[in-house]
A and B are shown apart, each in its own frame.
Chain A
Amino acid sequence: MKVLVAVKRVVDYNVKVRVKADNSGVDLANVKMSMNPFCEIAVEEAVRLKEKGVATEIVAVAVGPTAAQEQLRTALALGADRAILVETADELNSLAVAKALKAVVDKEQPQLVILGKQAIDSDNNQTGQMLAALTGYAQGTFASKVEVAGDKLNVTREIDGGLQTVALNLPAIVTTDLRLNEPRYASLPNIMKAKKKPLETVTPDALGVSTASTTKTLKVEAPAARSAGIKVKSVAELVEKLKNEAKVI
């Protein structure tokens, strides 16, 4: 089956972000950018499905700026066969991204679309579910295990109370959680080979997709800082403070 995997370019997870002085957003100038960690898990799962002989072709898709080609090249180095960039300089909301992905799904007709459950910049946790709504496909979100069984997909999901398993009709949408797999690193020969793999660029306009948004960010602020407290010398002192000073036990 053909597998589509979505990747997002985000600030690297090791970067400690700072809010801009004018409160217009987060300062991303000269900051290291990477593939969103949940998207790395999505790519890895697609590659494993191909290694098992379940997936026949992996198409990596990004919706973002020209520079998102870097993340698509990473996906190609990890094992994707070809890539599509829906190029836009605007910062799109999840619904617009889902609409762009829907247009690509219509064209490519994959049996399975794998996305990260959330991006670590906007922390929205929406795109996969929205894509499922727009395509009318079943969704297996927060997946910790994915198994193709005939014409069904069994997805084990991480839920608040533990784990839940659902059986989905194919085609289906899956979003990844942390325990689905441990992504590999791209090898140098594969990074070199990835440079020759096809990467196609389209625009939302060419796909006939509206990027209109119903949400406006008015300001972005640093959170209220929590100041460090005191160090206690012993367990006895800790208990005394919790009982008499903080009064929480």
Chain B
Amino acid sequence: MAILVVAEHENGAVAPATLNTVAAAAKIGGDIHVLVAGQNVGGVAEAAAKIAGVAKVLVADNAAYAHALPENVAPLVAELGKGCSHVLAPATTNGKNILPRVAALLDVDQISEIIAVESVDTFKRPIYAGNAIATVQSSAAVKVITVRTTGFDAVAAEGGSAAVEAVGSVHDAGKSAFVGEELAKSDRPELTAAKIVVSGGRGMGNGDNFKHLYALADKLGAAVGASRAAVDAGFVPNDMQVGQTGKIVAPQLYIAVGISGAIQHLAGMKDSKVIVAINKDEEAPIFQVADYGLVADLFEAVPELEKLV
């Protein structure tokens, strides 16, 4: 039986999270089918067919699937997933929106945000904001799973040559409509895919002071994130939040600036390879997880760091 992977895509391109999800599918083992649902997604389907290890790409190209409205996409995924052993999606806001709806339509539990595959039916996932790791076994006929992308190294985006097959069925529930979106525009790398992340917390004082972090990030080729405190205070928009309920990141280098290190923030970044903390409070909990801690005034340390790197 095949494993169905629901592709994440944006602006006509396959999103990196899809590659991590295919990697999780490869660990489970089986034919990997990738579903590309959307409108005018022929290019995405062609790109998905090149992903290493993919056997087949199913493309559902219809206006009903534009903007990935769950009322329309979930019945499609449930229909295609019925005959599969597993249905996987990345644990992005999109995957989290759609997949539980699919699981309920299939009358099975969903297993959320797996970080490891133990066997075909057994998985590891964090609970309690990452303060405990549960090993769970599923007896469901179809195992519906979201994948924490930081748990799996991406497969190659090139090298495969899967067949592309059109899916005719159209589900249009007519219960919801897309009104609009405000997307953050940035030339910097995407937060969850960046090799280096520079994040600011409440210690930044205000949104304007984030300019110091942007300057440092641009020099390092880094993405910029923020703690929940900084987002709640209105310094920066929600899409920058790193933490248990924001984005989960695991870059090569994470630089936490003016962040105290609340549990829910640590849950979003503690799997980073190297963590640097810059904070003037030497008792800040962030230093307990930092490889390199610098007790200093960030307004002096960050500009100096920018000069020296």
B182 at the interface (CB under 8 A from A): yes
Contact A165–B305 (Cβ < 8 Å): no
Cβ distance A104 to chain B, nearest Cβ, rounded Å: 16
Interface contact B96-A141, CB-CB below 8 Å: yes
Whether B129 contacts A139 by the Cβ 8 Å rule is no
Q: Is the CB of B253 within 8 A of A246?
A: yes
Q: Is the CB of B289 within 8 A of A226?
A: yes
A residues touching B (Cβ–Cβ < 8 Å)? 11, 13, 16-17, 19, 26, 93-95, 98, 117-118, 120-134, 136-139, 141-142, 144, 154, 157-169, 177-179, 213-223, 226, 228-232, 234-236, 238-239, 241-242, 246, 248-249
Q: Which residue of A lies closest to B174 (CB)?
A: A169
| B237 → chain A closest CB, angstroms | 7
> When the two chains form their complex, are residues A163 and B181 in contact, meaning their CB atoms are under 8 A apart?
yes
Q: Mark B91-105, 1 if CB is under 8 A from A, else 0.
A: 011101111111111
Q: Known: A215-B111, A223-B130. Contact between A126 and B136, CB under 8 A? A: no
A229 touches B94 (CB 8 A): no
B134 within 8 A of A: yes
User: In the complex, are the beta carbons of B112 and A228 less than 8 A apart?
Assistant: no
CA distance A219 to B124 in the complex (A): 10
**Cβ 8 A contact of A123, one of B129, B228, B294:** B129
| Apart from A169-B174, A218-B135, A220-B132, 4 more pairs, CB < 8 Å | A95-B109, A139-B71, A141-B70, A159-B93
Q: Counting CB contacts under 8 A, is B1 at the interface?
A: no
Cβ of B47 within 8 Å of any chain A Cβ, yes or no, is no
Complex alpha-carbon distance, A164 and B66, angstroms: 13
B170: min CB distance to chain A, Å: 17
Looking at chain B's contact residues, is the secondary structure mostly helix, strand, loop, or mixed?
mixed
Q: Would you give 21 A-B contacts (Cβ < 8 Å), ordered by A?
A: A121-B127, A124-B110, A124-B112, A129-B70, A132-B71, A139-B176, A161-B239, A162-B182, A164-B178, A215-B140, A217-B134, A217-B136, A220-B127, A226-B275, A228-B290, A228-B293, A229-B290, A230-B293, A235-B305, A242-B292, A248-B252
Q: Does B180 contact A (CB under 8 A)?
A: yes
Shortest Cβ gap from A85 to chain B (Å):
23
Q: How many whole Å from B263's CB to the nearest CB in chain A?
A: 7
Q: Tell yes or no: B39 within 8 A of A by CB.
A: no
Contacts of B276 in A (CB 8 A): 238, 242
For B141-173 the 0/1 string (1 means CB < 8 A from A) is 000000000000000000000000000000001
Is B63 an interface position by the 8 A CB rule?
no
Q: Verify if B13 is at the interface (C-beta below 8 Å from A).
A: no
CB-contact partner of B69 in A125, A166, A213, under 8 A: A166
Chain B positions 208-238 with a Cβ under 8 Å from a chain A Cβ: 220, 228, 231-232, 237-238
The answer on a CB contact under 8 Å between A123 and B176 is: no
Residues of chain A contacted by B96 (CB below 8 angstroms): 125, 129, 141-142
Give every chain B residue within 8 A of A216 (Cβ-Cβ).
136-139
Chain B neighbourhood of A226, CB < 8 A: 270, 275, 289
Please indicate the chain A residues that have their CB under 8 angstroms from the CB of B92 in the complex: 160
| In the complex, chain B residues whose CB is within 8 Å of the CB of A241 | 292
Given contacts A214-B140, A226-B289, A241-B292, are A126 and B110 in contact (CB under 8 A)? yes
B273-298 contacts to A (CB < 8 Å):
273-276, 282, 287-296
Q: Which B residues are CB-close (under 8 A) to A122?
A: 127
Given contacts A228-B287, A246-B253, contact A164 B135 (CB under 8 A): no
